[in-house]
Amino acid sequence: MKRIYNILLHITFWILFAIMPLSTIFFSEEAIPHSSLVYIIAVYMMHVLNFYTAYFLLLPIFFKKRKLVISILGSLVFVLVFALIRLALIKIFFHCISIDIDKDLAKFLANPKSILFEYVVWTFMFTAFAFLLRSTFEWFNVQKQKSDLINQNQASELALLRYQINPHFLFNTLNNIYALVYKKDDKAPGAVMKLSEILHYALYKANAERVLLDNEIIYLKSFIELQSLRVTDTNFVDFTVSGSTEGKHIVPMLLLPFVENAFKHCNKQVAAPGIVIAIVTDERSIEFSCKNYITSPNQYTKDEAGGIGLQNIKRRIELLYPKKYQLEINTNETEYTVYLKLDIHEN
């Protein structure tokens, strides 16, 4: 809770607490003696002193100790000692000021046992209230610190995961371009330009938490075009988009590892299309599916680059779409399929 709200809460409480005795005085049919009014104000100030002595001095010590028995015993000792201090200060106060004390108040002050009991009750109440309020604020502060720590850890983890994706993608793409250059293929300059466009997107446009789905689709198409340079059949990849994509957002570079793995592990000897990619959208969700043909069901068990891709993407989805996604990955003798559904509906 912000400091200003904390201060306003305290001020509001003391104003409301003061209204109770003041309303009794103002609406009373009988005139209240001046000495009684002075006593009420003095007691009110003792309440304030009691509360903030416990709030700022006593309770912080107990919170640091974190020992229940010591805290309880210490609080009981504080209540008794402060009640005696209340009694002594009130006696000294009325002894020092020159004011006529009315008969009822004089009788009350002349009975130390009765007044001490009342002061013990008041001191206990305001100490307990201080403990309750301080505990509430401490709990909120701890929860906020935990939340901030979780957010910082997740932000750091996501930054690391994205850092892992980029070198992996760059490593594979440069290998493809190297093959074209080595063969002195005329497609090499275009491939370099396409890579430049992809890296520009990855470095400058994909740093936001969410990007437009339309931009991500353009990015995927560019990637597919670049990877397709190694495939002789221009229809080897079937990429379709269904439904309205306008105004929809997605985590950047979330789908890339699936498409990248499809190219890396696909069986390029099968008839086109060897890779089938589809994106279907509606008002509440984005559905992504990717299927590629494989030569062996064991291809995906051990990634040559250290298994970064699949575990990485699963972790990103868990962090960025908690309880708002469905991921299914299936392999048989000839096909590897991925189905991912993301809930983009804002509750």
124 shares a domain with 216: no
CB 17 within 8 A of CB 51: no
Least confident of 138-152, 224-238, 294-308: 294-308
- Confidence band (pLDDT; 50, 70, 90) for 169? low
Residue 164: pLDDT over 60: no
Residue after which a domain boundary falls, among 146, 175, 194: 146
Residue 166: pLDDT over 70: no
- Confidence band (pLDDT; 50, 70, 90) for 305? very low
62 shares a domain with 115: yes
Bridge partners for 343 per DSSP: 285
The pLDDT score that the predictor gives to residue 299 is 58
Residue 307: pLDDT over 50: no
Estimate to the nearest angstrom the gap between the alpha carbon of 292 and the chain centroid. Answer: 38
158 belongs to a structural domain = no
What number is the average pLDDT over the span 5-10?
80
Bridge partners for 12 per DSSP: none
223 shares a domain with 111: no
Residues in the chain: 347
> Which ranges of 97-253 would DSSP assign to H, the alpha helix?
103-109, 112-182, 188-200, 213-227
DSSP labels for 326-346?
Answer: EEEEEE-SSEEEEEEEEE---
CATH of the domain at 208: 3.30.565.10
Distance CA 43, CA 118 (A): 11
Residue the block writes with tokens 């997740």: 154
- Looking at per-residue pLDDT, the higher value among 255 and 111 belongs to 255
- Looking at per-residue pLDDT, the higher value among 213 and 264 belongs to 213
193 shares a domain with 310: yes
Q: pLDDT tens digits, residue range 127-150?
A: 998 888 888 888 887 787 777 767
Distance CA 178, CA 197 (A): 18
The count of structural domains within the chain is 2
CB 317 within 8 A of CB 254: yes
274 belongs to a structural domain = yes
Residue 326: pLDDT over 90: yes
Least confident of 33-37, 183-187, 195-199, 222-226: 33-37
288 shares a domain with 209: yes
85 belongs to a structural domain = yes
Residue 74: pLDDT over 70: yes
The pLDDT score that the predictor gives to residue 139 is 82
78 shares a domain with 205: no
The pLDDT score that the predictor gives to residue 187 is 82
307 shares a domain with 240: yes
154 belongs to a structural domain = no
107 shares a domain with 254: no
The pLDDT score that the predictor gives to residue 302 is 47
**H or E segment to which residue 264 belongs:** helix 256-265
Angle, alpha carbons 195-226-221 (nearest 5°):
100
Number of H helices, E strands in the chain: 10, 7
Of 336, 314, 316, nearest in space to 327 by CA? 314
224 belongs to a structural domain = yes
165 belongs to a structural domain = no
What number is the average pLDDT over the span 165-187?
77
The pair of structure tokens assigned to 37 is: 């009014």
Phi-psi bin for 72: left (phi > 0), alpha (psi -120 to 50), beta?
alpha
200 belongs to a structural domain = yes
How far apart, in Å, do the first and last CA atoms of the chain sit? Answer: 25
Range(s) of the domain holding residue 108: 3-146
Q: Which amino acid is at 180?
A: L
84 shares a domain with 207: no
216 shares a domain with 140: no
252 shares a domain with 310: yes
105 belongs to a structural domain = yes
- Looking at per-residue pLDDT, the higher value among 4 and 239 belongs to 239
**H or E segment to which residue 212 belongs:** strand 211-212
Distance CA 268, CA 278 (A): 19
The pLDDT score that the predictor gives to residue 304 is 42
Distance CA 261, CA 295 (A): 14
Average pLDDT of the chain, as a whole number: 81
The percent of residues above 90 in pLDDT, for the chain, comes to 23
Q: Which residues in 141-150 are b (16+ Cβ under 10 Å) and which e? A: eeeeeeeeee
Least confident of 49-53, 64-68, 261-265: 64-68
Backbone angles phi, psi at 127, to 5 degrees: -70, -40
Residue 261: pLDDT over 80: yes
- Confidence band (pLDDT; 50, 70, 90) for 309? low
CB 105 within 8 A of CB 39: yes
Residue 21: pLDDT over 70: no
CB 272 within 8 A of CB 309: no
254 shares a domain with 137: no
- Confidence band (pLDDT; 50, 70, 90) for 69? confident
Q: Which amino acid is at 245?
A: T
The pLDDT score that the predictor gives to residue 49 is 92
Residue 200 to residues 13, 34, 172, 304: CA-CA distances in angstroms? 57, 81, 17, 27
The pLDDT score that the predictor gives to residue 233 is 81
